[in-house]
């Protein structure tokens, strides 16, 4: 699975935003994150990177988190703010690999999630992004990532993500692997599978 590195990482999403709403919102946060719900922090500050239609950000807000939701596609942000007008959610126009606006602030997060985002970054971008994501975690903060495996949809930018090198790079960034779980596509696509990874930032004194 690979595609053109010259395309922006969110290629195709602006054009398809209206049609993506129903499929994204048809799945719940719990449907996706069941394998790690038992290690989900109990409230605090959460960051949803690539927040899309706001489904996961809204679920975290309902669970008592104060949520920053970073989404670079204006069309998706507009749908999200319409569908999930929760005062506990702060919407930010920011994107991987640099997350410049988030890094300009001093907020650190007890939980960061990236749902179906990581495979949009090429190898160089992933190497740049992971330490920056880790830096946004509090000591003992947790990072949940879902990684897609399957054919690249027309007009999208996606790359094959080897899981073992990802977990090794995470370790170098001070992230301890808590859980790895493989699962079928929640939309029923037979040629798509997912890997769920859960990490915790080392509390280094």
2, burial (CB in 10 Å: exposed 0-12, middle 13-18, buried 19+):
exposed
The answer to the question of residue 81 being in a domain is yes
pLDDT of 181 reads 96
d(CA 118, CA 49): 10
**Which residues, in sequence order, are CB contacts of 63 under 8 Å at separation 6+?**
40, 43
More confident residue, 18 or 128: 128
Q: Which of 147, 171, 17, 131 is nearest to 83 (CA)?
A: 17
Domain housing 41 = 13-201
More confident residue, 2 or 96: 96
- pLDDT tens digits, residue range 24-65? 778 899 999 999 999 999 999 999 999 988 999 999 999 999
pLDDT of 63 reads 97
The set of long-range contacts for 184-187, using a CB threshold of 8 Å and a minimum separation of 24, is 185/150, 186/27, 186/31, 186/32, 187/23, 187/26, 187/27
- pLDDT tens digits, residue range 11-22? 445 556 556 666
Percent of the chain with pLDDT over 70: 88
The answer to the question of residue 2 being in a domain is no
The answer to the question of residue 7 being in a domain is no
pLDDT of 25 reads 74
d(CA 118, CA 193): 14
> Region 85-102: what's the mean pLDDT?
95
What single-letter DSSP state applies at residue 27?
Answer: S
pLDDT of 12 reads 44
- pLDDT tens digits, residue range 178-188? 999 999 988 88
Sort strands 44-49 and 65-70 into parallel, antiparallel or unpaired: parallel
* The model's pTM: 0.90
9: pLDDT strictly greater than 70? no
d(CA 202, CA 195): 22
Residues in the chain: 205
- Here the CATH number for the domain that contains residue 138 is 3.40.50.150
More confident residue, 17 or 140: 140
Q: Which of 85, 86, 127, 92 is nearest to 107 (CA)?
A: 92
The answer to the question of residue 90 being in a domain is yes
The answer to the question of residue 64 being in a domain is yes
173: pLDDT strictly greater than 60? yes
pLDDT of 158 reads 87
User: Is residue 7 within 8 Å of 14, Cβ to Cβ?
Assistant: no
Provide the domain count of the chain: 1
The answer to the question of residue 8 being in a domain is no
| Averaged pLDDT of the chain | 89
d(CA 170, CA 105): 23
The CA angle 68-81-128, to the nearest 5 degrees, is 40
3-class secondary-structure state, position 1: coil
The answer to the question of residue 122 being in a domain is yes
Q: Which residues are paired to 65 by β-bridges?
A: 44
């Amino acid at each position: 699975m690979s595609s053109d590195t010259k395309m922006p990482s969110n290629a195709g999403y602006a054009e398809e935003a209206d049609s993506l709403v129903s499929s994204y919102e048809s799945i719940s946060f719990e449907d996706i994150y069941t394998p790690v719900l038992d290690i989900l922090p109990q409230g605090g500050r959460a960051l949803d990177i690539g927040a899309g239609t706001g489904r996961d950000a809204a679920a975290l807000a309902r669970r008592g988190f104060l949520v920053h939701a970073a989404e670079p596609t204006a069309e998706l942000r507009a749908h999200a703010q319409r569908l999930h007008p929760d005062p506990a959610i702060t919407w930010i126009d920011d994107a991987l690999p640099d997350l410049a606006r988030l890094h300009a602030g001093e907020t650190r997060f007890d939980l960061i999630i990236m749902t179906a985002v990581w495979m949009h970054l090429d190898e160089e971008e992933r190497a740049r992004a992971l330490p920056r994501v880790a830096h946004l975690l509090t000591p003992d903060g947790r990072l949940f990532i879902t990684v897609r495996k399957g054919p690249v949809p027309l007009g999208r930018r996606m790359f094959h993500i080897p899981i073992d090198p990802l977990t090794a790079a995470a370790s170098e960034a001070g992230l301890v692997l808590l859980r790895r779980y493989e699962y079928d596509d929640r939309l029923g696509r037979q040629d798509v599978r997912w890997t769920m990874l859960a990490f915790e930032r080392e509390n280094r004194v």
